[in-house]
Amino acid sequence: MVRKCTVWVIVVVIVFFLAGCWDQRLLKEGRLVYASAFDLQQDEKIKTTAIVQDMKNGIPTNVLIQGEGNTIRETRMDMDNKLSGDFDPSKNRIFLLGEELAQKDIYQFLDIFYRDPSSSISANIVVTEGNGEDILEKMTQKNTLIAEFLIELLSSAENSTLVPKQDVQSIWTNMLDPGKDFALPLISLKDDEVVLAGTGLFHKHALVGSLTLEESTLFLIMSNQKKKVARFVSKISEEKEMRIQNYISYNFSKVNSKLKVLSASPENIEVEIKAKVDITILEFPEDKLSNEEKIQKLNSLISKDLTAKAEKLVKKLQASNSDLFGIGRELIAYHPKTWEQIEWEEEYPNITITPEIEVDIVGHGIIN
């Protein structure tokens, strides 16, 4: 009995000393990274720029830190050597991919995030025009710390259907899907100002082109990804005296878009994207919106304008070989035989995609 007890006591005590907290990562010792940018150097070495956030007397401050290496991990090790405490990217909120790096295979660089269980795969991921480091080096932007500025910029843009809502985790499936490509927000430095420039188009793992913000909104509308608001401006006439009178601004209130494969023979693939949208008018000085005829006329004018823009968008997507609408996925799912026979990479730019947008004005604000 006594022996048994002694054994137990020894075991318990040893557990305490042996466990030794080897997995422990103390919060107070970690230096939390808030944003990081990855750029490719001339010699294909990676340069990581990270923003480490600290609190000084209750006020958050940013510290910029850079590291170089052959792999992302190596750059982290390099940065850790320049930093007190442990370099810790597990609360990273936003990743910036430099243009040059994004044009290569981004999957190679993101591997580390999918492998490490503590990494923040819910972080936003964006591409930058030029190098990401230039943007982070601004440190502050319009009275806001750069990392927070970028995150807030993105989240407001996502809410107004300007850029697709993507994070590190959600692009993973798209990267591995042969039938669907994805787009990431595109940020650029214009006249020393950080601005949202549009959307970067990806094909497989690489950046292949970009959309403007207007095209990006249109794409999101056509793929049923409208968020809280989606504002848009169309040109409806040419001859008005003042420039503002030629335009109408409106908000998409209800969107219903359908992708239909009309013909799926390997020689001739025809796809139709038909969107029925309800809009409310936000700005139209000419007014007279109580007139039914006027409304019908506006409906057809806006529909025409949007359809023309959509056609341009589709052309652009086909030219850059980025299958954002997931037509390939549609073929895999419903026409597997066709899919097996064709080489999608080569076929996609040549297929026929007919977009059509039908507009219905359902509201015009509180004046009549």
Partner 1 sequence: MGQNSFSLLIVLAEHYITELFEVSLVTFWMYKNIYIGNSFIYTILEGVLAMNDQNQNTQKIQNEKKGIEDQRVIYTIIQKEKYIQDGLNHTDDLFIRELKKNGKLIKIFFLDSLTDKTSLETNIIKPLIDSTLNDVKHVITSAKLITTTNLDIAIEMIPEGYCVIMEELSEKLLLAPFPNEHSSRTEPENERIIRGSHQGFGENISENVQFIRERISSSKLTITLSKIGETSKSKYALIYLSDITDPEILKKIENRISYIQTDSIQAPGAFEELIEDHTYSPFPQFLNTERVDRVVSNLMEGRVALVMDGSPTALIFPVTFFSFFQTAEDYNSRTTISSFFRIIRIFCFIITVCLPAFYIALISFNYEIIPVEIVFSIKSSLEFVPFPPLIEAAIMQLTLELLREAAIRLPNPISQTIGIVGGLVMGTAVVEANFVSNTMVIVVAITAISSFVIPSNELSTSCRILGFPLMIGAALFGVFGIVIGLTIILIHMCKLKSLSLPYLYPLAPFDFSALKDTLIRAPVWLMKVRPKDLNTQYRWKTSNARGWRKDEKSD
Return the DSSP state at 244.
Answer: G
**312 scored as a contact of partner 1 (CB under 8 A):** no
**90 scored as a contact of partner 1 (CB under 8 A):** yes
Residues 6+ apart with CB under 8 A from 106: 97, 175, 202, 205, 206, 207
**263 scored as a contact of partner 1 (CB under 8 A):** no
**55 scored as a contact of partner 1 (CB under 8 A):** yes
Per-residue mark of binding to partner 1, 5-44 (x: CB under 8 A) = ----------xx--x-x-xxxxxx-x-x------------
**2 scored as a contact of partner 1 (CB under 8 A):** no
Question: Cβ 26 to partner 1, closest distance in Å?
Answer: 5
Identity of residue 54 = D
**293 scored as a contact of partner 1 (CB under 8 A):** no
Question: Cβ 89 to partner 1, closest distance in Å?
Answer: 10
Question: Cβ 21 to partner 1, closest distance in Å?
Answer: 6
**Beta pairing partners, 263:** 270
**76 scored as a contact of partner 1 (CB under 8 A):** no
Burial class (CB in 10 A: 0-12, 13-18, 19+), 316: middle
Question: Cβ 145 to partner 1, closest distance in Å?
Answer: 11
CA distance between the termini of the chain: 93
- Interaction with partner 1 in 102-141: which residues (CB under 8 A)? 118-120
Q: Is the Cβ of residue 58 or residue 243 nearer to partner 1 in the bound state?
A: 58
Q: Which parts of the chain fold into alpha helices (H)?
A: 2-19, 72-80, 99-103, 106-115, 132-136, 146-159, 168-176, 213-222, 292-319, 327-334, 336-341, 344-347
Strand 46-56 vs strand 124-128: parallel, antiparallel, or unpaired?
Answer: unpaired
Closest CA to 153 of 35, 250, 251: 35
Question: Cβ 118 to partner 1, closest distance in Å?
Answer: 5
Question: Cβ 259 to partner 1, closest distance in Å?
Answer: 36
Q: Could you tell me the two tokens for 81?
A: 């050597």
Task: Dump the DSSP string for 2-59.
Answer: HHHHHHHHHHHHHHHHHHTTTT---GGGEEEEEEEEEEE-TTS-EEEEEEEEEEETTE
Question: Cβ 28 to partner 1, closest distance in Å?
Answer: 4
Tell me the C-alpha distance between 266 and 339, whole Å. 8
**342 scored as a contact of partner 1 (CB under 8 A):** no
Tell me the C-alpha distance between 78 and 118, whole Å. 20
Q: Is the Cβ of residue 53 or residue 257 nearer to partner 1 in the bound state?
A: 53
Q: Is the Cβ of residue 125 or residue 359 nearer to partner 1 in the bound state?
A: 125
**60 scored as a contact of partner 1 (CB under 8 A):** yes
Q: Is the Cβ of residue 60 or residue 365 nearer to partner 1 in the bound state?
A: 60
Return the DSSP state at 265.
Answer: -
Question: Cβ 53 to partner 1, closest distance in Å?
Answer: 6
**53 scored as a contact of partner 1 (CB under 8 A):** yes
**58 scored as a contact of partner 1 (CB under 8 A):** yes
Q: Which chain residues interact with partner 1 by CB under 8 A?
A: 15-16, 19, 21, 23-28, 30, 32, 53-55, 58, 60, 90-91, 93, 118-120
